[in-house]
Amino acid sequence: MFLKNRLSRKSVRKMNKFDLNSYLSSKRKQIDTALGIIIDNNSKDSTIRDAMKHSLMASGKRLRPILCVAAADAVGNHSNPTIRTACAIEMIHTYSLIHDDLPAMDNDTLRRGQPTCHIKFDEATAILAGDALLTLAFEILSSVNAADTDRGALNRLRVINTIARAAGCNGMIEGQMQDIAAEGKVLGLEDLKKMHRLKTGALIEASVISGTILGNGNRDQIEKLKNYARNIGLAFQITDDILNVEGDPDIMGKDVGTDQSRGKSTYPSILGMEKSKKFARKLVNDALKVLDYFDNKADPLRAIAHYIVVRNK
């Protein structure tokens, strides 16, 4: 762990009895099981199915779907539609990784400890596998539930809109476009933050907001958890930038040093390593202060905020 635990005393007291490792392990198993069922039920035996499973069922952190579930729990209502939404979010995230790794983008050969999709199969198959995961995600999100009330149906529409905006040209895709355009250039700090709030932060924020909506959170709860998500989303990217310099590729399951070789502006390159770590800690503390509004049902969110800056992959 490369960052010291400098959290508010109140937040530390609230997290002391919470076992994050057990929580993450349990949720990952639950999400992985649901993802496996969805893929098996919605794709025939084919090369595309194999390529989808190769990337989707690899050993990922499942951070975004877990945040969705944890946000629903924080406002008091965890249900099966939340798990399916969480799975759809992971499909969208995985599609973005497949496309991000392509030769036309970052041309990476290793992801989650295994060959990237276009290396394992081929470039055309990887593109189609990413497309298939994206469209299947929205099929899952829009599936009609006979048990839906009018409020449940409206919440489902709000979630679809939230995720679509985060994944589209006003969110993740725009962030990726800005990232490509910025290669070889030196960005200012504000431009870098703006880019990463789109590329990385938008889907993290959408994950938290979607869980809050599905948990029937009120307006105040949604706004506070949106603030929490914005802070941890940026802290997540800063940590990624730090790990790209200091991380162990065997632990991370991907190459390090790639940001510098591609001429990318990063927080360490702009702020320096120590100031980047300090900035990440500040963002986590700001996120934790927001959670003082919530009771111990938000302990998973508290622990995840801390985990974001002490993780090693």
Q: Which of 200, 203, 187, 171 is nearest to 267 (CA)?
A: 187
Higher pLDDT, 14 or 20: 20
- 81: Cα separation from own chain's centroid: 19
Q: What is residue 261's predicted lDDT score, i.e. its pLDDT?
A: 84
Residue 245 one-letter amino acid: V
Give percent of the chain above pLDDT 70.
92
Higher pLDDT, 145 or 157: 157
pLDDT tens by residue, 150-182:
778 899 999 999 999 999 999 999 999 999 999
CATH code: domain 9-310 is 1.10.600.10
DSSP state of 297: G
pLDDT tens by residue, 179-219:
999 988 999 999 999 999 999 999 999 999 999 999 999 99
For the chain, which residues make up each domain, given as ranges? 9-310
* Token couple for 15: 């997290």
What 3-state DSSP class applies to 242?
helix
What 3-state DSSP class applies to 277?
helix
Query: Hey, what long-range contacts does 181-187 have (CB within 8 A, 24 or more apart)?
Result: 182/264, 182/265, 183/262, 183/263, 183/264, 184/263, 185/263, 185/265, 186/265, 186/270, 187/265, 187/270
Residue 93 has pLDDT above 80, yes or no: yes
Q: What is residue 24's predicted lDDT score, i.e. its pLDDT?
A: 96
Q: What is residue 17's predicted lDDT score, i.e. its pLDDT?
A: 76
